[in-house]
Structure 1
């Protein structure tokens, strides 16, 4: 593992910036929380903390602003978001520095967030006017009933986002909610809140009215329940355990909820895979953001015919990855973000080693680079009794397994309570699609680990089984924030027939009409 020299001091995260970014946080507590830089372990910023009362006040302010915002046509509502797209790209160096400073990720992985924030926003800014406009649907009686569907904003939405992708995830959930005509009260993770606060500041600079996107900061024990209890809809990204609790509480109020949760994602590498392409792609799939990615690959199933060659070359490639703390694009992988993640990775690796697994690369922390670095680790011989086999590690750890036929690989891939993301690697794309359709995951990539499905914004993204509820992206990702309303008007003939028509005649008329509509494919 190489170490490149370079500055470890974040060049843009200073007190003036922190003061500017935190001025919209709803906080009257007088309390603050110190966040630290994962690269160094040193204090990075002091962030204000919110109370339950601050959350209630934020929702009250948000609802006041939302009423005027919902009255703006979707075509006009998208204007700030089109400007936001350009500003994110123009000022990417600011946010790249912030992302690295508060997460410890490599700059190339921070750029994935920048691209996603811009491209995902542009998708909805382009598509929302069409998706939200009133649409006509078949009426009860052709020619006599005219029926339309309107999409109304839900009101004030909670967006609760985690620390691992602190720009992409809050933007990805808040932007479609706002474009749909809602206001948002957002709780980013405190450790990585500066990225979300930067996005809020930038969008208001682009023209979003004040109080439509209000941030609150604090611990779930204090402000978690109020974020659900005051919301008209909840969008959550995080662990399966937390998602289940949030869904239960929201259900008690008959409030909608979407949740992207955990994953123990499989990759299936067929015997005809292009090994050069697959090894490069699998490294990204397993070790992007130091493996702290819900859709990264932790279980790799390799056909027996190529297992030995793939294993040798993949482990060698992992050993050659560059780890450093520089604010440039030289690192292949960065740091873990929290000490608890380092502890979890260490626990999974050490237990597997003690129970007989073979470590092919990595397998140790690297405090010589930074306090939370851990080497990209590849293992074989991982058995079901080992936590690394079944539990989500959420770190730079991947286990390799042999398979001999396609059905066996699919069964192994599906042998989990999770179903978020998967990948299939083969030169035969048609074969890859056939395999993909048999994998129980919300997204399946062919010859790519996660980017192909994630960045196809027109397609829904989310999990099956314990990996989530609902979908982000696509039409579903926007319309989840709306209430559908059907309005129908009746003309010429009513549902009691024409004046003076008896019931038997009317029933016979409708029966004949139903047969004719079927015959001529009107229905």
Structure 2
């Protein structure tokens, strides 16, 4: 079976998108760019309609954005943490209250279903609430055990890095532009955000509400343009970088940050496994698998692309899963009807088609889907289930990042875990079995997050716990304590009283000092609360 990528129509005078032109122009004006910069047009994946234009920023614009954000950061860092938190509690309410506008912009710009767009919006609100309620606790000075009991008072402080760069991707342009910035801002930093060139308006819509919530206008700057042009200048002028994207680009970013000796965090690619064991509840597993594989049209770093099904349940699970996939509703439009929307670009459609075609040509069997759907829109591709995928097929190892899952029969849980770990990636995993058994198996899987009887949302939405990848899937973590403290510099302040640790106290011979310290160290070993 062969499918051909369908190009987005770009007529000489394309139709306008359903977004209000005044809104689009207002959002474009938020970009930090010198007057007269060339403009870059953005088109809607659903139908190729013109959304609007944003400035094509230059390195000079990036440096100006960095200058403004650094200047604003000093006053922001001096404000009490409680005042910073109040901004994000207001933001939480604004995001929920203005959700219709935000969902429209997100859908028009990405082509995703409205339910997938709402996942993003809910995540932003939840992240705002979480850090607004916990930032003071995470950032407050912490008393640490001193070198000598009573005589040494040691306190750990956390200071803002200064200026944080955020480079966000197109697949979750709301969540991944703003949620990472929230933690950085609450830690007292300024932020320069570069959203993906395909999806600038969603990020700008979120930023506009931040300004309305009371965030200082210069503190968060947005620059738009191609990553190859702006990534280098952005990294050159910040103190820390948060990047979400491909593993290949992540390596380049890591090298650039290393040359400057600045910290960075990166969530990268994944080839995420799902394990279905014989004692799983069949009905809930089928429904969960549909969401785990095809949410956001499979364009989700933590979605499932490999499924390992225990032999004892394979012949019951697979027909039920395939039948449910074939009943999925695909549609374009700003309604709640569709379970799955469009892919975002010609490039993604071409990648998905190439992976599926290569697998089929080498012997894989299509159980559902397997072709583009230009009748629904220029970038639609059916949710696809394959069987018989082998190592020589591109789809077996490479991240497809689309609505495609490969099914494999395994003998038991041990084989499933072994197959799940047989990858260079380690971002997310999913296990379907009894709760107790799942909790026992999960730590054996080499992934930063593992969900039991859920695809990805349970771990992702547990905002008090760290989220990130093992192996080639990333560096560092977002969410929880780790997700805000990474934007700070830890400082240890130790105050010594009475007998100093060194140099030798006046009038005490070196051998006598050593004897006293030796005795003290032996005593301290036996004191439980000092171990």
Deviation at 1:39, TM superposition (A): 0.6
Which residue of 198, 201, 204 corresponds with 1:194?
201
2:468 maps to: 462
Any unmatched runs of 5+ in structure 2? 1-14
Residue 173 of structure 1 aligns to a residue whose secondary structure is helix
Equivalent residue, structure 1, for 2:420: 413
Q: Distance in 2 between matches of 1:152 and 1:319?
A: 53
What is aligned with 1:430? 436
- Deviation string 1:427-459 (CA, Å, 9 cap, x unpaired) is 2x2211221111100000000000000000011
Deviations 1:403-442 (A, max 9, x none): 0022111110011110000000002x22112211111000
Residue equivalent to 2:7: none
Separation (CA, whole Å) in 2 of partners of 1:297 and 1:218: 31
Q: Is the 8 A contact 1:35 1:45 kept in 2?
A: yes
Matched, 1:61 2:68: yes
Name which of 285, 288, 310 aligns with 1:303.
310
Given candidates 223, 230, 244, the residue that maps to 2:230 is 223
Q: Distance in 1 between matches of 2:315 and 2:42?
A: 44
| 1:402 partner SS | strand
> Which structure 2 residues correspond to residues 65-144 of structure 1 after superposition, within 5 A?
65-144=72-151
Q: Say which SS state the counterpart of residue 267 (structure 1) adopts.
A: strand
- 1:226 aligns to what SS in structure 2? helix
Q: Is the 8 A contact 1:321 1:332 kept in 2?
A: yes
1:10–1:98 CA contact under 8 A, matched in 2? no
**Cα offset for 1:499?**
3.5
User: Take 1:358 and 1:493, find their aligned partners in 2: how far apart are those partners?
Assistant: 77
Shift, 1:221, TM fit:
2.1
Indicate the SS of the match to 2:396. helix
CA distance in 1, matches of 2:376, 2:412: 42
The aligned residue for residue 342 of structure 2 is 335
Cα contact 2:254–2:264 (8 A) shared by 1: yes
**Does the residue aligned with 2:79 lie in a helix, a strand or coil?**
coil
Distance in 2 of aligned mates of 1:500 and 1:26: 65
2:258 is the alignment partner of 1:251: yes
Q: State the SS of the aligned residue for 1:191.
A: coil
In 1, are the aligned partners of 2:163 and 2:189 still within 8 Å (CA)?
Answer: yes
SS of equivalent to 1:177: helix
3-state SS, counterpart of residue 407 of structure 2: strand
Residue in 2 that maps onto 1:514: 521
Task: Name the structure 2 match of 1:5.
Answer: none
Give yes or no for the alignment of 1:292 onto 2:288: no
Give the superposition deviation at 1:498: 4.4
Contact 2:386 2:405 in 1 (8 A): yes
- Structure 2 partner of 1:20: 26
Aligned equivalent of 1:368, options 375, 389, 411: 375
2:354 counterpart SS class: helix
Match of 1:313 in 2: 320
State the match for 1:387 in structure 2.
394
Pairwise CA distance, 1:283 = 0.2
Partner SS state of residue 56, structure 1? helix
Q: 2:10: which partner in 1?
A: none
Give, in angstroms, the shift of residue 513 of structure 1: 1.3
Segments of structure 1 that go 5 or more residues without pairing to the other structure are 1-7
**Which residue among 466, 482, 486 is the counterpart of 1:480?**
486
How many Å separate the matches in 2 of 1:39 and 1:177? 34
| TM-score computed with the length of structure 1 as normaliser | 0.97
Residue 444 of structure 2 aligns to a residue whose secondary structure is coil
Q: Contact (CA 8 Å) 1:421, 1:441: kept in 2 or not?
A: yes
1:142-157 pair list within 5 angstroms: 142-157=149-164
Q: Is the 8 A contact 1:47 1:190 kept in 2?
A: no
The equivalent of 2:330 in structure 1 is: 323
Alpha-carbon distance between aligned partners in 1 of 2:300 and 2:388, rounded to the nearest angstrom:
24
> How big is the alpha-carbon RMSD for the aligned residues of Structure 1 and Structure 2?
1.2
Q: Is the 8 A contact 1:10 1:97 kept in 2?
A: no
| Residue matched to 1:493 | 499
The alignment of Structure 1 onto Structure 2 pairs a total of residues equal to: 514
| Equivalent residues of 2:28, 2:53 under 8 A apart | no
Please state whether the residue corresponding to 2:385 is helix, strand or coil. strand
Structure 2 distance, partners of 1:158, 1:22, is 20
Q: Does 1:277 align with 2:291?
A: no
Q: How far 1:497 moved relative to its partner?
A: 5.3
Deviation at 1:10, TM superposition (A): 5.2
Which residue in the other structure is 1:178 paired with? 185
- Which region of structure 1 is more displaced relative to structure 2, 234-243 or 205-214? 205-214
| CA deviations over 1:389-409 (Å, ceiling 9, x no partner) | 111000000010000022111
State yes or no: 1:158 paired with 2:165: yes
- The normalised TM-score by structure 2 is 0.95
